[in-house]
Structure 1
Amino acid sequence: MMRKLTLAAAALAGAIAGPLGGSSAAAAERTLRIGVSDALTGGASVYGLPQANAIKMAADEINAAGGVKVGGDSYMLDVIAYDDKGNPTEATNAVRKLIDFDEVKYILGFCCSGAASAVASFIADEDAVMLVGNAAERSITARGIPNLVRTRPPADYTGAAAGAFVGKRGHKRVAVLGALDVGFYALYVDAFEKELNKAGGQIIARESFGLKDRDMTPQLTKIREMNPDALLVVGYVEPAAFIYRQSVELGMDIPRYGFTSGSEEQFLRVATSEQMEGVWDLRPTELTLQSATETGLAYHRNYTERYGMPPSPSSPYAYDNVYALKHAIEAAGTVDDTRAVARALRELAPPPEAVMQYLPVDGKMFDRNGQAYTANGAFQWRGGKWVYVEELPSDAKAYSEFLASLR
């Protein structure tokens, strides 16, 4: 059963600041409800709760600056959040409740691909706009749904860049340990392998784990016996951290690469900084202090002050969606005509408040598929923190055309 996130529920879920379910803005001329469906509890909450926090923070910033301007009216944003636990059925129930009972037309969040895909399967028939954050499954935007946009690039867009990077570093025998039954992780690895093969390398093992698994020593022991020259780890933050810790405990002295997108604080709940030293994370160029613009630094500072801990690197995907929505509504000149707002989103340049560094296609933040792109980056754990080392070049326009060809 879906739960609207109240202050008490947020405390139970481990939310670290204020309620998400409602804005504090007073004396608003009008109110515009926006909805959140995201994983606020469970294993995926390492991504979902920071996204929900970021949405609330952006809404409050917009309200403090006078709201969303449409004609002579100012609309204050009222955030209604439900915990979908990253589950497709829960997400479907949450969005149905937001649309049918809360009369919400704009729905954000969606850290998990299964949940986002379930909602994407019916959202085209609704008088609503869906703005997807961290979910990375390619099919979400490959369908060309006119009232759906996503800020995070698809997993295979990043996997190809990662494979080229690892191949360039001379690795010939790479073992993979990942949540390979999850579609977007499998897509990442497939794209990674194609580029690795081009550089003369190969994947010599594909070992799997469940997202709730915490002891990966059997898989790591098997991998160790195959004598790889590198390890690729794909999965949620917590199991990945256990793998990094256990690989050190097993004496595996090989380079370790990952696709996880977690903050320092999240990894250090499981592994020590010494056990993390040297680990690479090959992901979209998301928020770290080393890769942030002035806007990103301000976001990091404000989020940390508000919630008592640093934001996760991927949380700005949802934050940026709120500002994209604001600018699209103002450009469309309406809060009621969702089709006009959806069209305005497709014409939008990256807003000045955006934290992520987007690569516009034909000058637009979202391409004709509703997909936004960032550069890909190589981050490495050095001395207790993620350090942005270099960009992994990717061709956003070429990928955009490929994505459109899948329809």
Structure 2
Amino acid sequence: MMTSRAKALVAGVAAAALVLTGCSDTRLGDDASASGDGPYRIFFTADMSGPTSSASRAVLAGVKAATEQVNEAGGIGGRQVELIENNDQNDPTKAVSALQEEINSGNRPDMVYPGGSSAVSLSLLPITTREKIFSAGATQSDLLNDPEKFPYHFGTTEPVATYVQALVNELRSKGRQKVAMVFSNDPTGQASEAVYRKGIESAGLEFTSVGYPSDALNMTPQLEQLRATNPDALVFEGYGTPVQYVIQSLTGMRWDIPAYGTATSSTFPLVDHFSPEQLANVLVVQENWAVDDGEVAPEMTDFAERAIATSEGSVIADTGIRTPSVASATVQLARWAAEKSDGDTSAQAMADALTSGIPEDGGDATPWVTDAKGPNPYRYTVTNHFPTGSPDVPLFITPGTYNDLGLYVPGTKG
């Protein structure tokens, strides 16, 4: 079993770009076949050397594993997949420049994985839309789920609202009515707070929140402000070390309130910094298919082993298998769409196929692993290009670690 040192989800795109393929070695600017001929070219951009590079490497490991699986099965539309890597350091300008260079130099990709942050994705989608290039990614901003504006883009990450509904169900089952939330006062935290507020208040529960500066080292003032409202549950949001400071402040206050992590804050390796006694009232959230409950689906084992075997795979010991899995679905969805469109890999044909009715059945009905223990989340429609999440999939469990496959192993109560 490996200890988790979970880093973030991905960020970014562009900079010096190395092209990786199933078996070729191309670089940005080299001659390549036009779209529709030769290999099926996927332009992948992410932050490979900046603050979120660990998460980006996990994403790339998943995309590489899926590319290997897809090529073994005959490729996309009968064409072997060629993966073009690009390091953008989470800089939208670098991402745009690199993609535009690909297009202008005659290397127009068939598909784009548009970065690891919503800011990068939002900078690239106007280009992919104009050029009629299919795109799929794991960034979550609701602004990306706009089929009228971005008709060729599809998301693969569960919406934040799915986690909120799961939390509401959890709170109701425990008879908890007053919810407080402490969040990082930055664009990501503010967006998360807005979704939690809407979902919790819509459910008829009371909600109050306080933001903390993203560089704060002590969240006691914010937590004391929340404690004064006498809530019976706390939600903590953040990424990286701020999560440690939240729990550190919480335990220092001796505030024994049930505390629930968001999907982002739940990636932090709490068990590396706190005792079971200190975490006795803390629960993190994980998808059921990414948790080791003793029943691991064969397709998950196969995928995890492939992802770990990639040159980026060692990072999965820190990030877990969830991030690679969600990223891998982008390639698997492209193969599925091409099959349904009789090999037509144009952006419009791919979009039409994905909105024509992907089966709800999980497991063997679909090639991705995110539905191994529940319904297929990728039931897209012409008005919704994001997953249809089930509130039964997120699980609130005790903080733990990752096993050798990157599956989450819940800890024990103090």
SS of residue paired to 2:140 = coil
How many Å apart are 1:2 and its aligned residue?
3.3
- 2:14 counterpart letter in structure 1: M
For the pair 1:375 / 2:384, whether they are aligned, the reply is no
1:32 to 1:293, Cα distance in 2 relative to 1, 3 A = same
Higher percent of residues as strand: 1
Distance 1:67 1:48 in 2: 27
Question: 319, 323, 327: which is aligned to 2:332?
Answer: 323
Among all aligned residue pairs of Structure 1 and Structure 2, give the percentage whose two residues are the same amino acid: 17
For the pair 1:248 / 2:251, whether they are aligned, the reply is yes
Deviates further, 321-330 or 283-292? 283-292
- 2:81 counterpart letter in structure 1: L
How many Å apart are 1:147 and its aligned residue?
0.7
1:54 matched residue in structure 2: 62
Q: Provide structure 2 residue ranges, at least 5 long, that are not aligned to the other structure.
A: 1-12, 26-36, 360-364, 403-407
Question: CA contact under 8 A between 1:23 and 1:59: conserved in structure 2?
Answer: no
Give matches, 1:110-125, under 5 Å. Answer: 110-125=115-130
How many Å apart are 1:324 and its aligned residue?
1.0
Question: 232, 235, 242: which is aligned to 2:235?
Answer: 232
Question: CA contact under 8 A between 2:134 and 2:346: conserved in structure 1?
Answer: no
1:242 to 1:295, Cα distance in 2 relative to 1, 3 A = farther
Give matches, 1:4-403, under 5 Å. Answer: 4-6=16-18, 21-25=19-23, 30-45=38-53, 47-63=55-71, 65=72, 67-68=74-75, 70=77, 74-101=78-105, 102-108=107-113, 110-133=115-138, 135-144=139-148, 145-180=150-185, 181-182=187-188, 184-196=191-203, 198=204, 201-210=205-214, 215-224=218-227, 226-261=229-264, 266-268=268-270, 271-272=273-274, 274=276, 275-282=278-285, 285=288, 287-290=290-293, 293-306=297-310, 307-308=313-314, 309-310=316-317, 311-334=320-343, 337-347=346-356, 349=358, 352-357=366-371, 359=375, 365-368=379-382, 369-376=384-391, 377-382=394-399, 384=401, 386=408
Q: Provide structure 1 residue ranges, at least 5 long, that are not aligned to the other structure.
A: 7-20, 390-407
Distance 1:229 1:258 in 2: 15
Question: CA contact under 8 A between 2:283 and 2:399: conserved in structure 1?
Answer: no
How many Å apart are 1:323 and its aligned residue?
0.9
Distance 2:135 2:46 in 1: 12
Question: CA contact under 8 A between 1:2 and 1:82: conserved in structure 2?
Answer: yes
Question: CA contact under 8 A between 2:136 and 2:154: conserved in structure 1?
Answer: yes
TM-score by length of 1: 0.75
SS of residue paired to 1:379 = strand
1:228 to 1:5, Cα distance in 2 relative to 1, 3 A = farther
- 1:259 counterpart letter in structure 2: T
Question: CA contact under 8 A between 1:40 and 1:83: conserved in structure 2?
Answer: yes
Post-superposition Cα deviations, 1:253-278, rounded to whole Å, max 9, x if no partner, equal: 211112134776x5259633635455
- 1:355 counterpart letter in structure 2: V
Instruction: Give the total of aligned pairs.
Output: 362
Deviates further, 148-157 or 237-246? 237-246
TM-score by length of 2: 0.74
Deviates further, 290-299 or 50-59? 290-299
How many Å apart are 1:382 and its aligned residue?
4.9
Post-superposition Cα deviations, 1:42-67, rounded to whole Å, max 9, x if no partner, equal: 4444543311221112112323x154
Distance 2:237 2:62 in 1: 25
1:365 to 1:204, Cα distance in 2 relative to 1, 3 A = closer
How many Å apart are 1:227 and its aligned residue?
4.5
Post-superposition Cα deviations, 1:152-179, rounded to whole Å, max 9, x if no partner, equal: 2322343233234224322233221113
Distance 2:305 2:328 in 1: 14
Distance 2:90 2:193 in 1: 18
Higher relative contact order (CA 8 A, sep 6+): 2
Post-superposition Cα deviations, 1:73-104, rounded to whole Å, max 9, x if no partner, equal: x4222211223344444443344344444421
Question: CA contact under 8 A between 2:47 and 2:90: conserved in structure 1?
Answer: yes
Post-superposition Cα deviations, 1:213-249, rounded to whole Å, max 9, x if no partner, equal: 5543443344345553321112324433442344224
SS of residue paired to 1:314 = helix
For the pair 1:2 / 2:14, whether they are aligned, the reply is yes
- 1:300 counterpart letter in structure 2: A
Post-superposition Cα deviations, 1:11-40, rounded to whole Å, max 9, x if no partner, equal: xxxxxxxxxx4035379x942221112233
How many Å apart are 1:370 and its aligned residue?
2.0
RMSD: 3.5
How many Å apart are 1:132 and its aligned residue?
1.8
Distance 2:284 2:375 in 1: 20
Distance 1:61 1:98 in 2: 26
- 1:173 counterpart letter in structure 2: K
1:271 to 1:158, Cα distance in 2 relative to 1, 3 A = same
2:31 matched residue in structure 1: none
- 1:170 counterpart letter in structure 2: G
